[in-house]
Amino acid sequence: MPSEILTLAVITGSVREGRFGPVVTNWFAGQAALHGGFTVDLVDLADIPLPLALPAVSPALDPEPVRPAGMASLTRRLAAADAIVVVTPDYNRSFPASLKAVIDWHYTQWQGKAIGFVGYSGASGGLLAIEQLRQVFNELHAHTVREYVSFPRYYELFGPDGALKEPSGPAAAARALLTQLHWWAAVLHDARRDRPYLSA
């Protein structure tokens, strides 16, 4: 078990009616609990108002824009996180609009943070969304770790109870992701503490 307990926000990115995301998120949260290096904060974007109309001034220029009142808790939770895992499907070869909205409503909350991904979809297992999200988070001065978890044809992999039919492979992938994420999160946590991050 890692000696340092860090805060991990796990974001369920899909808000679509009938979505499968919470099943994947709950599975991953269980893997994070087994890892032992994180306190897990589950963030479900379906519970949070995420208007697509952004403030007149970008959060990159104004770190504290006027956000909807219902977003205040989310902003605090993102700021408090040492690491973030995004659980995402891919829709039309990209990631959900809800994820882009939550990303664009924030800026400093991502800076100098370690970001990981868990993807699921029919054919690609969410990899199309993940590759695009890597570019987006790079623009926001976050570090995306190499390891990831992917569930192609997820509907064949999980049973009606939400448990994986063959758990060993995904569990190994989750351990690799969480171990790498914890290392980067710990290093970046100390760096942010000792030297405030400057993006320019």
- CA dihedral (78, 63, 145, 74) in degrees, to 10, reads 20
pLDDT one-digit tens code per residue, 102-155:
999 999 999 999 999 999 999 999 999 999 999 999 999 999 999 999 999 999
Region of poorest pLDDT, from 66-75, 82-91, 110-119, 162-171: 66-75
pLDDT one-digit tens code per residue, 165-198:
999 999 999 999 999 999 999 999 999 999 887 7
Residue 9 to residue 12: CA distance in whole angstroms: 10
What is the set of domains in the chain, with CATH numbers?
A: 6-194 (3.40.50.360)
Name the pLDDT band for 199 (thresholds 50, 70, 90). low
Residue 52 to residue 158: CA distance in whole angstroms: 32
Predicted local distance difference test score (pLDDT) of residue 1: 55
Residue 184 has φ and ψ, to the nearest 5°, of -65, -40
Residue 85 to residue 65: CA distance in whole angstroms: 24
Residue 13 to residue 96: CA distance in whole angstroms: 7
What residue ranges in the chain does DSSP mark as E strands?
A: 6-12, 38-44, 83-89, 114-121, 143-144, 149-152
Question: What percent of the chain has a predicted confidence (pLDDT) above 70?
Answer: 98
